[in-house]
Amino acid sequence: MVGQISSIPWLSLLTFSPLLGVLILLLIPKERVFAIRTIGIVTTFISLIIAVVIYAGYDASKQGNTLLEKFDWISIPLNLDVAKGIQSWTLDIPYHLALDGLSLPLVVMTTIVAAMSALASVSIRKRQKTYFILLLLLEVGMLGVFMARDLFLFFAFFEWTLVPTFFLIGIWGLANRERAANHFLLYNGLGSALMFVAFAILVATAGFDQITDTSGAVKFVYSGDLYTIVNHLQSSGAAANLGHSPFFLSEGWRMGTFVLLLIAFGIKLPLFPFHTWMLKVHAEAPTPVVMLHSGVLLKMGAYGLIQFGMVLLPQQLADWATVLAVLGIINILYGAILAFVQTEFRLVLAYSSISHMGFVLFGIAAMNEIGLQGAVMQMVSHGFISALFFLLVGSLSERTGTTRLDELGGLAKRIPFISALLLIAGLASLGLPGLSGFPAELFSLLGLYGNLPWAATIGAFGVILSAVYVLRGVLAITFGPIAAHHQQLKDARLVEAVPAIVLTACIVLIGLFPSLVTAPVEYGVSHIIDMFKVGG
Amino acid sequence: METVFSQYAWAIPTIPLLAFLVLTALGRQIKGAASLLGLLSSLAALVLSVLVLTERWSPDAEVYSHSIDWVNLGEVTLRVGYELTNLNVLMLIVVTIVSTLVNLYAKGYMEGDDRQHVFFAYIALFTSSMLGLVVSPNLLQLYMFWELVGACSFLLIGFWYDRPAARAAAKKAFIVTRIGDVGLLIAILLLFWQMPDHSLDFSVIQTVFQSGDSLAQHGITAGIATWIASLIFIGAMGKSGQFPLHTWLPDAMEGPTPISALIHAATMVAAGVYLVARTFSIFHVSPTAMAIVAGIGGFTAIFAATIGLAQRDIKRILAYSTVSQLGYMMMALGLGAVTAGVFHLFTHAFFKALLFLGAGSVIHAVHTQDIFQMGGLGRKMKVTTWTFAIGAMALSGIPPFSGFWSKDAILAAAWEQDHKLLFVIGVLAAFFTAFYMARLFFVAFTGKPADDQIYQQAHESPSSMTIPLVVLAVLALIAGFVYTPFNGQFGIWLTGEPAEDHANVLVMIISVAAGVCGVLLGYVLYRPGQSQRVDKLEQAAAPLFRVLERKYYIDELYNWLIVRPLRVIGKGLDIIDRYVVDGLVRFISAFVDGWGRTSTRVQNGQLQTYGIVSLFGFVALVLLMLALGRGFW
């Protein structure tokens, strides 16, 4: 966890770069749609460039290579009895961003998907100014989530994403948009509440720190700093025999906290049976927002589970590995079977996301490097694939007015480009080698097989089912006879083709060279895996 | 020996890949030149393969292997590269020859199709993937190309995507082979954690599995070896259309016929056989796995041959014949006769590609696939007919055509191992094969035309299509002499072990007799000069014929046992998901909603209400404090 502090605050620049666009957008009159779109799109590309520059400079071979930014931010004095010798007793919320090998691929993926989503947003036909402002604000929240290393800061960014998403769904969505937005907010709010309780428990116990400054004065501090809490939890396990130390968090409390975190992040992931809220989002939200939602926002759940659940409470995770694997099996099979019977293509994709997230759970339950590399690979891969899928779904519904499987067919004849990419997205989704889905699922399965062979074996059958539902969905749209009223459809315009090609290129690139993702991850997760090795 | 060309063997799969990329990027522009580009890339791969072969004449030529890191996973490094063994190089030759000829043939066959460039791009991608599969130095890389050839097969079966039948067939091919692929995938998972250093290299597999001692040394039990072998075989069953995963292969005939020849007869479907041969050391240590392979192979050989008796579609007859012949190859491997199995793969590739291309030539001319609508084509399509006859005789095991030698080698292996049941099955299947090929030939090519209109439009195909037929006919004639009972060099070269003497005159006589009897019976029933509109076999045993014609109702069975239950379960779960699981979300939103409304009602601006709420609140607080036993601050 040794970090390097750069003279230029790259991480803050990256996180808050979209705000620049927000400021400019505020100054532009809402009638100037072209300017608004341009500013919105260009801003996302600035973030993308910064992320790529950081990625290019990241030396994966250097163990624990982490960019770090930390300074005191908020300090709340606590109204507790101050004994002699103790100067103060405060609750500190430091501003602490870091970019390690685990976050890096996700951050790069976020900026790419956000930029492509902004390009796809030219299809938005009303209130473009508000729309792009919200979209950029959403990007800030997403980037912050992946970089925050303070529990409060993480929580704040996590909540931050809810607000723009709520409005983006509620204002620009389809017929039932308000209901979908409502469910989204309430259900995620519930998850956040559970996360907050878990974080509060952690801060109140393991977050306690005693600092003696140079003058000999002692300060008692409650801190949400992730690394402080990790250190305290590690050194104050049952084995450390610290008894009544304020750091102490009994096994029972730890387990309870772990379950709270599992549910909180499970809602986001989504984990069966907490998944139904996201079906409505997939079905009702405007497609550029679904690109971000399915591509990036869902990954926050899996990311949280690794960066907080796994790092903070490794022993509990180890105890629950079997449970996680079983939950993974349920997600994979349940999602796949339900995807198979949907008649609305958006729902096919929504259930397919549930199925694919099962492989992330597999990778986590594996508790080894291979598995975790697979889990992160799957997060990145699925981010690109579902972004591509929903980009194309947007293009389809703009042309045909429907994405119902029984109303479509034979579109390959009139819109071969869109159809071809839809097929590529489908093949990537069902795990064809050469595309990103394959190494992701392979590594997750390889990892899990080392820990729980039976679970990996059952999960492998998901590979058959994914072929079944993907081909059913995609071929129903592109193959077969074409309806007479679809004879006049026009193929993709340039502004649609560019993001589609970029996303496809990403899928192919990391499919052929998975080490683009797995190499940083390997060093980002090795300290997590070490904890399992020490703990036995 | 100096290896000059072997070190450039990586280019063999790469050249067609480049052709694929160019065709994908510029296909629309170059249109007419697409077939030329496809042909040249395959030809270049063929030339290079032949050059590599020249460096491997000697049976003890060293295995040439080269690989680079692909990805690091924890302490494990997965690698990709290429490896040349004599078996691999033989496969390279087969694949590149057939691919080159099919590219040439397709130029004529696909003339006028406005998506030609897509077609040739797919063929190039397939050729590249198939060659990549063949040279893979480890099981994981093989698996990747294994999936890719499957995807190409899917794309090409569904090439005429607007036909619902093509869509269904493409989907079915992908899904059914996927079932097998999962077996192979699990085998890889199992091997990965069993092998020393997580190595999946074929060379390491060979070392570890060479004997019971070396297995024990690496802590692999006989049971695990059986599991690994069986799981690999499940993968092979899917690709090579072995019962019960055979159902996709006949349906795959919806694709353009050159594809049927290349993918679904000569190369991809043989990949299962190749896989078993490549990992044979694993099978060799497990008698159970060997028995499974032999049993499934033998059953498939006879099972598919009987279905072939009752089909009317020229391509489906050939498809069931392919399934049956692949069963033969598997049976040979299960009997431990690797050389015989691979030899049959080798000869079969040529004569079956020939038969499919011949069938394509016929279909191209008459636009029907029903043999009972053809008849008398021999008078109008001389080259097609003669070459088809050669292919049919090779398949029927008539000496001296190539099929005879390879089939005889398999039957001899069954005989020598004293495996009576498999020997009888092999002979019976050979008889059926000869019979249905005679039926096909006499009905379609001889006698009176069944339909004058169809006969009128029949014509010989252009030379781009007939040249490949002639070349393949020559190969179907001579390929068998590579390995005759009188010359066992091929066996030594291929497996490194001295060939067993399989010159068994009795077996040869039985084998020839089975083939000749089949042809004669076919001649008697379907000979020229009689009304050909009825199927004699159908008249003779209508109920049995119906069962065969409907392929033993296997498709219907799968539909009832798997497809429908899956759909019913899915629909059931969908209802549960909508009303039970989602009920949780609705409950929460209703609860929040209701709470909000109630609280709103309380804040009604009336002082009395506020007073009551405050009073209750105060009382509650007091009670709480007392209960906790703490004082007020």
φ and ψ at residue B210, rounded to 5 degrees:
-70, -25
Residues 332-361 of A with CB under 8 A from B: 334, 337-338, 340-342
Cα end-to-end distance, chain A, whole Å:
21
Q: From the CA of A26, how many Å to the nearest CA of chain B?
A: 34
Residues of A in contact with B566 (CB under 8 A): 337, 340, 468
Are A514 and B193 an interchain contact pair (Cβ–Cβ within 8 Å)? no
Nearest to A464 by CA among B171, B249, B179: B179
| pLDDT given for residue B609 in this prediction | 82
A-B interface: how many C-beta pairs under 8 angstroms? 142
User: What would the mean pLDDT of A161-183 be, rounded to a whole number?
Assistant: 90
CA B106 to each of CA B63, B150, B370, B463, B476: distance values in angstroms, whole numbers, following the listed order: 35, 20, 22, 11, 20
Query: Which of B17, B69, B71, B563 has the most A C-beta neighbours within 10 Å, making it the best mutation to test the interface with A?
Result: B71
Taking the CA atoms of B210, B212, B216 and B220 in sequence, report the sign of the dihedral they define.
positive
| A72-121 pLDDT tens trace | 888 888 766 666 656 677 888 888 888 888 899 999 999 999 999 999 99
Q: CB neighbours of B605 closer than 8 A, spacing ≥ 6?
A: none
| pLDDT given for residue B389 in this prediction | 92
Residue recorded with tokens 């204002």: A171
Count how many Cα atoms sit within 13 Å of the Cα of residue B54 in the half-sphere of its side chain: 8
Position A184, amino acid = F
| pLDDT given for residue A65 in this prediction | 55
Residues 275-304 of A with CB under 8 A from B: 275-277, 279
Q: How many residues are there in chain A? A: 536
* Chain mean position to CA B465: 25
User: What would the mean pLDDT of A16-31 be, rounded to a whole number?
Assistant: 91
- Give dist(CA A8, CA B219) in Å, integer: 55
| pLDDT given for residue B559 in this prediction | 87
Q: From the CA of A215, how many Å to the nearest CA of chain B?
A: 34
Residue recorded with tokens 């130095």: B137
| pLDDT given for residue B222 in this prediction | 86
Q: Is B41 exposed, middle or buried (CB count within 10 Å of its CB: 0-12, 13-18, 19+)?
A: buried
- Give dist(CA B160, CA A480) in Å, integer: 9
- A367, two tokens: 């508790």
| pLDDT given for residue B497 in this prediction | 65
- Give dist(CA A349, CA B542) in Å, integer: 48
Residue recorded with tokens 């890949």: B17
The answer to which of A14-23, A125-134, B21-30, B56-65 has the lowest mean pLDDT is B56-65
Tell me the three state secondary structure of residue A81.
coil
Pairing of strands A86-99, A218-223: parallel
Is A194 near chain B, with CB under 8 Å? no
Pairing of strands A218-223, A3-4: unpaired
The DSSP symbol for B5 reads S
- Give dist(CA B203, CA B136) in Å, integer: 11
Does residue B243 contact residue B296 with C-beta atoms inside 8 Å? yes
Provide the ipTM. Answer: 0.91
Does residue A373 contact residue B74 with C-beta atoms inside 8 Å? yes
Does residue A180 contact residue A284 with C-beta atoms inside 8 Å? yes
| pLDDT given for residue B455 in this prediction | 83
What's the whole-model pTM score?
0.92
Residue B68: strand pairing partners: B80
| pLDDT given for residue B592 in this prediction | 80
Q: Is the pLDDT of residue B342 over 70?
A: yes
- Give dist(CA B428, CA B511) in Å, integer: 10
Are A460 and B193 an interchain contact pair (Cβ–Cβ within 8 Å)? no
Q: Is the pLDDT of residue A61 over 70?
A: no
Q: Is the pLDDT of residue B458 over 70?
A: yes
Residue A184: strand pairing partners: none
Tell me the three state secondary structure of residue A452.
coil
Number of domains in chain A: 1
Is B21 near chain A, with CB under 8 Å? no
Tell me the three state secondary structure of residue A74.
strand
Q: CB neighbours of B381 closer than 8 A, spacing ≥ 6?
A: B361, B362, B365, B445, B458, B459, B460, B461
Banded model confidence at residue A237, pLDDT cuts 50, 70, 90? very low
Does residue A151 contact residue A199 with C-beta atoms inside 8 Å? yes
| B245-276 pLDDT tens trace | 999 999 999 889 999 999 998 999 999 999 99
Is A265 near chain B, with CB under 8 Å? no
Residues of B in contact with A481 (CB under 8 A): 162, 164
Q: Is the pLDDT of residue A244 over 60?
A: no
Is B178 near chain A, with CB under 8 Å? yes
User: What would the mean pLDDT of B461-484 be, rounded to a whole number?
Assistant: 89
Banded model confidence at residue B60, pLDDT cuts 50, 70, 90? low
Q: Is the pLDDT of residue A454 over 90?
A: yes
Q: What share of chain B is helix, strand, coil (3-state, %, to 5)?
A: 75, 5, 20
Residue recorded with tokens 């950081």: A54
Query: Which of B73, B75, B141, B152 has the most A C-beta neighbours within 10 Å, making it the best mutation to test the interface with A?
Result: B73
Q: Is the pLDDT of residue B481 over 70?
A: yes
Query: Which of B20, B185, B578 has the most A C-beta neighbours within 10 Å, making it the best mutation to test the interface with A?
Result: B185
Three-state secondary structure of A162-211? HHHHHHHHHHHCCCCHHHHHHHHHHHHHHHHHHHHHHHHHHHHHCCEEEE
| pLDDT given for residue A243 in this prediction | 44
Q: Is the pLDDT of residue B299 over 50?
A: yes
- Give dist(CA A23, CA A133) in Å, integer: 9
CA B231 to each of CA A464, B180, B187, B238: distance values in angstroms, whole numbers, following the listed order: 15, 8, 5, 11
- Give dist(CA B128, CA B122) in Å, integer: 10
Is B175 near chain A, with CB under 8 Å? yes
Q: CB neighbours of B73 closer than 8 A, spacing ≥ 6?
A: A369, A370, A373, A443, A446, A447, A518, A522
Is B621 near chain A, with CB under 8 Å? no
Residues of A in contact with B178 (CB under 8 A): 463-464, 467
Are A461 and B143 an interchain contact pair (Cβ–Cβ within 8 Å)? no
Tell me the three state secondary structure of residue A125.
coil
Q: Is the pLDDT of residue B630 over 70?
A: no
| pLDDT given for residue A64 in this prediction | 54
Does residue A512 contact residue B67 with C-beta atoms inside 8 Å? no
Are A479 and B170 an interchain contact pair (Cβ–Cβ within 8 Å)? yes
| pLDDT given for residue A240 in this prediction | 46
pLDDT more than 90, % of chain B: 45
- A26, two tokens: 């505020």
Are A337 and B158 an interchain contact pair (Cβ–Cβ within 8 Å)? no
User: What would the mean pLDDT of B284-293 be, rounded to a whole number?
Assistant: 92
| pLDDT given for residue A528 in this prediction | 76
| pLDDT given for residue B9 in this prediction | 87
Nearest to B451 by CA among B378, B379, B381, B366: B366
Q: CB neighbours of A321 closer than 8 A, spacing ≥ 6?
A: A365, A366, A367, A451, A452
User: What would the mean pLDDT of A161-187 be, rounded to a whole number?
Assistant: 89
CA B57 to each of CA B46, B62, B481, B499: distance values in angstroms, whole numbers, following the listed order: 17, 11, 16, 16
- A42, two tokens: 């260009």
* Domain extent at residue A391: 2-535
Residues of B in contact with A463 (CB under 8 A): 178, 181-182, 185
- Give dist(CA B289, CA B282) in Å, integer: 9
The DSSP symbol for B577 reads I
Nearest to A80 by CA among B624, B627, B633, B621: B633
